[in-house]
Amino acid sequence: MNKTELIEALASKAGTSKVAAATLLDAFTATVSDTLKKEEPVVILGFGTFSVSARSARTGRNPQTGEPLKIKATKVAKFKAGTKLAESVKKAKKKAAPKK
């Protein structure tokens, strides 16, 4: 699902216009981004948690030449699914799995 499809689905489920759904989605993503910039988590009970994780510096390899290179330490955004989301995905997988 891409952003346009998500906006259409949100508008349909909320019974609102696509413009309103797009505005709310943009506001949601901006709010999550702003909160993560402050290194604070965003917790949505049952859905999941957005947080910031630190990756330490390490040595990697250039895949073309095989030469070692230094990779700087960085911070990355992370998402951990909540219990309700994880369970709904787990149930959907069981339904979609082919029977043996």
Read off the pLDDT of residues 33-84 as tens digits, 9 standing for 90 and up: 999 999 999 999 999 999 999 999 999 999 999 999 999 999 999 999 999 9
Distances (CA, A) of 9 to 15, 26, 47, 85: 10, 15, 17, 18
Q: Are 11 and 45 within one domain?
A: no
Q: Are 96 and 48 within one domain?
A: yes
User: 0.85 exceeded by the pTM?
Assistant: no
Residue 92 has what pLDDT? 82
Please give the tally of structural domains in the chain: 2
Q: Which domain holds residue 2?
A: 1-38
Residue 98 has what pLDDT? 64
Q: Are 18 and 55 within one domain?
A: no
Q: Are 18 and 61 within one domain?
A: no
Q: Are 98 and 61 within one domain?
A: yes
Residue 7: CB atoms within 10 Å: 20
**CATH number of the domain within which 55 lies:** 4.10.520.10
Q: Are 45 and 63 within one domain?
A: yes
Q: Are 59 and 34 within one domain?
A: no
